[in-house]
């Protein structure tokens, strides 16, 4: 089936067409490996700065950690200076990168204040000088360069199509478009008309991204855009088997039954061990909390349990308590909640919180 068919990228072949989106602070090596294990064909690293003076920091070296990761290794670079970006590409290739992705999609202030990320879309000549420099650095090594962008800078300046065509002419091998403008941040809804227009105009593979959170949405985005592949970010947080769910349902027409609680316990604990290994105890126990929180969102009692878990400061204790909680949950439920059940549970808990907040407010104002 289409989503399981390989996608050629220069001399490389991606084994399928469902990708994990790069997310700074999330898609580190342990998370990428988990996604790949559970159905993602490809996962791009969190962005690595082109600033040479930061390459030896612990943060950047953790981001450049690919130990044990299955090929192809893709590293995203972010910056504003063409020469520095070319050097960053070569530096990462020397450390194992097989694909270099240029970030023109991230709206974060830290990135955009220095005119990197999606801010580059506002300065097309500079954006293209960066593309030229990075392609020139990578081409002699046979390393494909890919580009990730938004639909434009703002509603009135949706220049994705023009920039995409210029990038293709400059030698970019694959293009991802997130269906929002820089101005939107993550607000509103992604639109797919611009992605469809880019796909129709380009010969290189085009990847659609933005708000894909279910098999039905994946099917609709594929239909609307005709994209060659789909990229999923936030919906994989806490639910990394979403790639398998989408591939299965779009291939067979039937929903994939949710995993058993025991399977999820196994994946989550393995992920956490890998996570602690990368970050060490002090950072590891703290950064693991968000992954556990995402996993337990929409699981009955999960939110209340997170209060207990957030107070724990040792990795060993965190792992033990989580394992025991999941074992107790497994006594009551054999399977993990479906997407619909998780959404209903999260909505119910939200309503309860709002209800009790309103009650408190009434008591206070009485």
Ligand X SMILES: Cc1cc2nc3c(=O)[nH]c(=O)nc-3n(C[C@H](O)[C@H](O)[C@H](O)COP(=O)(O)O)c2cc1C
Residues making contact with ligand X (CB under 6 A): 21-26, 46-47, 76, 103, 105-106, 148, 178, 209-212, 232-235
Q: Which of 35, 106, 138, 345 is catalytic?
A: 106
Shortest separation between residue 337's beta carbon and ligand X, angstroms: 20
Shortest separation between residue 324's beta carbon and ligand X, angstroms: 30
In 200-245, which ranges are E strands?
Answer: 206-209, 229-232
The alpha-helical segments, DSSP class H, found in 38-151 are 58-63, 82-94, 109-112, 124-138
- Smaller CB separation from ligand X, 23 or 244: 23
Shortest separation between residue 117's beta carbon and ligand X, angstroms: 7
101 and 20 Cβ atoms separated by less than 8 Å: no
Shortest separation between residue 234's beta carbon and ligand X, angstroms: 4
- Smaller CB separation from ligand X, 46 or 274: 46
Residue 148, helix vs strand vs coil: strand
Cα gap 306→295, rounded to integer Å? 11
> What are 228's two structure tokens?
């060659």
| CB-nearest residue to ligand X | 233
> What are 77's two structure tokens?
């670079």
Cα gap 273→319, rounded to integer Å? 8
Active site residue 106: yes
Cα gap 295→205, rounded to integer Å? 32
Shortest separation between residue 59's beta carbon and ligand X, angstroms: 13
Cα gap 80→119, rounded to integer Å? 10
- Smaller CB separation from ligand X, 26 or 73: 26
14 and 37 Cβ atoms separated by less than 8 Å: no
- Smaller CB separation from ligand X, 210 or 305: 210
Query: How crowded is residue 105: how many other Cβ atoms within 10 Å of its Cβ?
Result: 27
> What are 349's two structure tokens?
């808990």
- Smaller CB separation from ligand X, 196 or 212: 212
Residues annotated as catalytic are 106
């Amino acid at each position: 089936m289409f989503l399981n068919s390989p996608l050629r990228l220069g001399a490389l072949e991606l084994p399928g067409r469902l990708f994990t989106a790069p997310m700074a602070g999330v898609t580190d090596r342990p998370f990428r490996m988990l996604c790949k294990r559970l159905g993602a064909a490809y996962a791009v690293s969190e962005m690595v700065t082109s600033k040479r003076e930061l390459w030896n920091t612990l943060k950047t070296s953790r981001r450049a950690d690919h130990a044990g990761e299955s090929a192809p290794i893709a590293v995203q670079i972010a910056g504003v200076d063409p020469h520095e970006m070319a050097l960053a590409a070569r530096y990462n290739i020397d450390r194992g990168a097989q694909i270099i992705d240029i970030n023109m999609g991230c709206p974060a202030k830290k990135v955009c204040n220095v005119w990197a990320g999606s801010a580059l879309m506002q300065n097309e000549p500079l954006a293209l000088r960066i593309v030229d420099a990075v392609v020139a650095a990578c081409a002699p090594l046979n390393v494909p360069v890919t580009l990730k962008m938004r639909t434009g800078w703002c509603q009135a300046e949706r220049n994705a199509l023009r920039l995409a065509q210029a990038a293709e002419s400059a030698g970019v091998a694959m293009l991802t478009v997130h269906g929002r403008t820089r101005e939107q941040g993550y607000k509103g809804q992604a639109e797919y008309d611009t992605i469809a227009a880019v796909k129709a105009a380009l010969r290189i593979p085009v990847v659609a991204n933005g708000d894909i959170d279910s098999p039905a949405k994946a099917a609709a985005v594929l239909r609307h855009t005709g994209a060659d592949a789909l990229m999923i970010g936030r919906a994989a947080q806490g639910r990394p088997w979403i790639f398998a769910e989408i591939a299965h349902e779009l291939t067979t027409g039937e929903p994939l039954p949710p995993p058993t609680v025991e399977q999820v316990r196994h994946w989550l604990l393995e992920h956490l061990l890998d996570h602690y290994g990368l970050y060490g105890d002090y950072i590891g126990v703290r950064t693991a909390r968000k992954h556990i929180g995402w996993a337990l969102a929409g699981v009955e009692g999960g939110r209340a349990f997170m209060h207990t878990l957030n107070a724990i400061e040792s990795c060993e204790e965190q792992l033990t308590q989580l394992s025991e909680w999941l074992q107790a949950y497994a006594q009551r439920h054999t399977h993990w909640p479906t997407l619909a059940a998780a959404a209903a549970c999260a909505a119910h808990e939200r309503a309860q919180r709002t209800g009790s907040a309103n009650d408190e407010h009434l008591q206070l104002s009485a």
